[in-house]
A and B are shown apart, each in its own frame.
Chain A
Amino acid sequence: AQSVTQPDIHITVSEGASLELRCNYSYGATPYLFWYVQSPGQGLQLLLKYFSGDTLVQGIKGFEAEFKRSQSSFNLRKPSVHWSDAAEYFCAVGISGGSNYKLTFGKGTLLTVNP
């Protein structure tokens, strides 16, 4: 079964600093890969996704992620964090094809931004 690991439960950065959130997955083939963001008490918003092609994908709000097949990773990056980026971030993987497609989520990384 596929699994997703987000090694960092909580990360604190200063406003204006760069950010990298880690995500590793376990699956035999290349899955679909996603990053979502969640503000407290809200639903999840899709930041970006990777299905195939260019391994560096751009998303909304200035985020990008890079798929590295050799490391089974899909890390999320942002060059300069804003206070409004404080939220919880979830990485997810989905198996392509078939009639029972579903996503598996990591347990999330909570981002705190210091002024």
Chain B
Amino acid sequence: DGGITQSPKYLFRKEGQNVTLSCEQNLNHDAMYWYRQDPGQGLRLIYYSQIVNDFQKGDIAEGYSVSREKKESFPLTVTSAQKNPTAFYLCASGNSGTEFFGPGTRLTVL
């Protein structure tokens, strides 16, 4: 099956710990994206990558980091510098201007 997978679906971490969210796609898409979703805020872009080994900051990149070593994978690390990391995180991939979304990871920092 072709698609976008995010793991885990739920993630709990203690304050001050870094945590890495996984995003994998087998759609052969060049572009991949990370969004953060909070109630009433819509989707806000964290980082995006149009090609392997290259990525750009989105609107709310502070406290996050990414890598794009493989076309299929775009992991997001939420660092201890992120002041309010509890949120729903969505990964997307796309070609030709259309983005397709994974099922999301809900991160709760205790």
Complex Cα–Cα for A101 and B51 (A)? 12
- Please name all residues of chain B whose beta carbon is closer than 8 Å to the beta carbon of A36 when the two chains form the complex: 101
- B104 and A32: CB pair below 8 A? no
- A107 and B41: CB pair below 8 A? yes
Q: Give the interface size bracket for A toward B.
A: 20 to 34
Count B interface residues, CB 8 Å.
26
Complex Cα–Cα for A101 and B49 (A)? 10
- B103 and A102: CB pair below 8 A? no
Q: Which of B24-64 contact A (CB under 8 A)?
A: 31, 33, 35, 40-43, 45, 48, 50, 56, 58
- B100 and A101: CB pair below 8 A? no
CB-CB contacts of A92-115 with B at 8 A, as 1s and 0s? Answer: 001010011111111110000000
Which residue in A32, A43, A94, A101 is a CB contact (below 8 Å) of B103? A43
Interface of B, helix, strand, loop or mixed by DSSP: strand
- A42 and B103: CB pair below 8 A? yes
Q: Which of B96-110 contact A (CB under 8 A)?
A: 97-104, 106
- Please name all residues of chain A whose beta carbon is closer than 8 Å to the beta carbon of B99 when the two chains form the complex: 34, 46, 103
Complex Cα–Cα for A68 and B35 (A)? 28
CB-CB contacts of A45-65 with B at 8 A, as 1s and 0s? Answer: 110010100000000000000
Task: Say if the beta carbon of A41 comes within 8 Å of chain B.
Answer: yes
- Please name all residues of chain B whose beta carbon is closer than 8 Å to the beta carbon of A45 when the two chains form the complex: 101
Task: Say if the beta carbon of A90 comes within 8 Å of chain B.
Answer: yes
- Please name all residues of chain B whose beta carbon is closer than 8 Å to the beta carbon of A46 when the two chains form the complex: 98-100
- B90 and A44: CB pair below 8 A? yes
**Nearest chain A residue, comparing its CB with the CB of B33:** A102
Given known A43-B103, A100-B56, A102-B58, contact A51–B97 (CB-CB < 8 A): yes
Complex Cα–Cα for A44 and B56 (A)? 22
Q: Which of B70-110 contact A (CB under 8 A)?
A: 88, 90, 92, 97-104, 106
